[in-house]
Every structure is written in C-alpha cells, then in structure tokens.
Amino acid sequence: MKSIFLALLLSGTVAAYAQDSSLVNGKLNATTSVKNQQATGTCWCFATTSLVESECIRKGESTPDISEMFTVRNIYIEKAKNYILRQGFARFDEGGLGHDVIQSIAKYGAVPESAYTGLTNGATSFNHGKMVKELKAYLDSALKKRRPVNDNWLDSTIVILDKYMGAPPASFEFNGKTYTPQTYAKDVLKFNADDYVGLTSFTHHPFDERFILEVPDNFSNGAYYNIPLNELVDACKSAVKKGYTVAWDADVSNRGWAMGRGYALVPTVDSLMRAKPFNPDQEENVVTQDSRQRLYEELVTEDDHLMHITGIGQSPKGKTFFVVKNSWGQAGPYHGYLNVSEAYFANNTISVVIPKAALDKALKARVSK
C-alpha cells in the first residue's frame, strides 16, 4: 500500500493530509479526518459536511470540524413538518440527500463539533433507531387527533429530539469569540448555499433541466440538474483534478462493491472480486447511458449511500479510480477510504453535489440559468 500525502499552506502553517490509497499518479485533495456515522442512517450528512469542510480548507478559510448532528437534528425538524403537512403520507426515517445539508446550513447555520455532539446521558456512540421510532409514533398520534392538529405539536417533537440528542446552543464560544450558528456559518465557514449544485444523469427526464429525483430519501423534493452521463463523469474527474471535492450518492449493494478490498468495480466475472491477490486492473463491463438507465428503472441501482470523493489516481496499469472517503470509521485496508473505478461510478451514481466553481465555464453557465 502506498500513502500519498498532500501538503497545503494554510495561514502560514503547513498542514499535511494523508489519504491511504494503492493508486499512483494521484491528485489527493485536502479533507478532514474520517468520521463514523455508527448506527445511524446519516451518511448523507457526513458526506456533504465533509464536502463543506474541504471547501473551507481549499479556500484557506479554516480547517473546521463541523457538527454533523446539529444538521441532522435540524433536518428531523424539517422532516416532521413535511410529515404533518402531508398528513402522514410521506417518508419519515433517518435518510436524506446531499442538498438537505446545504439547505439546512443556509437556514439554521452550523456549529463546530466542540459546541454540539448530539450525544446525551453519557452516550458515546450514535444510534437513532429508538429516537426515530418515538418521533414517528408521536407524529402519527398527533395526526390521529381531531382537526385542527394541536398547535404545539412541533414543541413536543423538539422535546423528543432534546431527550435523545440534546438541545443545541443558541450561541457558543469558538477561538475566543462568541458566535451563533448563523454567524459561524457566515463568518467562519464563509458558507453560501449558491456555491453548490446537484447534478444527475437519467433519460426519463430531459437533459439540461432540473427534476425532482425519484428516490425514497428525497423527502424534501430536491431538484437536480440533468446532464448526459459522459458529462457527469467528466465534470467530477475535472473537479477533483482542479482541487475540488464532490459529495457522491450511489448504490453500494450491487456487484463489485468490496469495501473489505478497498475497491469498487463493475467486474465482467464476479469471482475476480474474491481472487487473491486482488487485481484492480481486471476487465470491467462497459457502462452506457442506456444500461445505467435500465438498472435504475429496474430498481437494481438504488439510493444506498453517500460518500465524499476527495481524490483521483491510477492503478499500476493506468486505470482511473476515484479516491472516496467513507463514513464507517477506519474500515477497509485503506482506513476509511476506497478506490472506485470510473465504470463503477458511471454505473451506480444516483447524484452528486459539487461546487459550481469546479465546473467548466459552459456547464457552469447552463446550471446557473
């Protein structure tokens, strides 16, 4: 295993960021440490928060450690509002998508991990199963009562969130100054929701238009800009090579996903994924716009998991791979990272969230209309 180190000059201090990879000739962009979502379905928040952190580092603003659970808590409030207004005919669980993080920071702000951990009563790890069950049961009970719905239903929802996750701070100290979540996002993170765009690639909607992505976790009806597959792949490759990173929503339950090997491919022969020694240069299936669409419509490619693309490199024989940061702790041979082939990315991507500044001039103009 080879480790590639990227050194950045930040405010006069040299900071090194290590990402384990077996790739060569790589471009590895600065990111924060690998986190662990533990027993929660909050990958969407960990991946997109990591993207926002990397953008702060890239711009030389700071090296933040943003609280994922502050955002998760705020999104539960948004899910509850949606569930009540849709009279219970909506999804209410732990899932979400990358745009939810962007919109949450825009609305509620953000806080550092030091100000809010989302853990209470001596807990040392995250597990939202019991909390979500209690929240949904309460919301269902509120809907069963005679109209109008009790006007304090949201207050009672917040009581449940406080019990399991703790009440968030209205203000906090950070680096010797007092901030609110809104001022921390604005003044420290320099966050602007308009700096990001969601992209996807499916043929059941016209290209060069936005559409509401039809996956169960898109409770907030986020719209993604639709472009041809080759443009989506090229946009992400180009962004990483230019020093940007990408939040990636993909299927990880299909053939070829092998976190334990540190790789994800679309192998022509399944048994090769289990061969010893493992060969990252093995032949892969050809992925086309039509084959990708068919898998999506047959529900083979589903919205499973969000991760953070932080680098790009090549196998010893020249095959291109994305370097992907996961949120399962130090899992796998590359300590929380894995190498995703271009074919796997093309075959299994649901959507991405990417900084607009990373796009080439023509695509940026199209998505900005």
Q: Is the pLDDT of residue 6 over 70?
A: no
Contact criterion met (CB below 8 Å) for 295 and 347? yes
Amino acid sitting at position 219: F
Give the per-residue pLDDT at 4: 34
Q: Is the pLDDT of residue 17 over 80?
A: no
Which tens digits make up the pLDDT trace of 228-249? 999 999 999 999 999 999 999 9
56 counts as catalytic:
no
Residue 113: exposed, middle, or buried by beta-carbon count in 10 A (0-12, 13-18, 19+)?
middle
Amino acid sitting at position 240: V
pTM: 0.93
- Number of domains composing the chain: 1
What number of H helices and E strands is found in the chain?
A: 10, 15
Which residue in 99, 128, 305, 308 is the catalytic one? 305
224: containing domain: 2-367
Q: Is the pLDDT of residue 14 over 70?
A: no
Which tens digits make up the pLDDT trace of 150-171? 889 999 999 999 999 999 999 9
Strands (DSSP E) contained in 86-207 are 172-174, 177-179, 196-200
Q: Supply the CATH number for residue 65's domain.
A: 3.90.70.10
Rounded to an integer, the average pLDDT of 278-296 is 96
Which residue in 29, 43, 74, 308 is the catalytic one? 43
DSSP 150: P
Which residue in 218, 326, 347, 348 is the catalytic one? 326
326 counts as catalytic:
yes
Contact criterion met (CB below 8 Å) for 348 and 251? yes
Q: Is the pLDDT of residue 149 over 70?
A: yes
H or E, element range at 308: strand 305-314
Q: How far apart are the first and last CA of the chain?
A: 45
Which tens digits make up the pLDDT trace of 102-128? 999 999 999 999 999 999 999 999 999
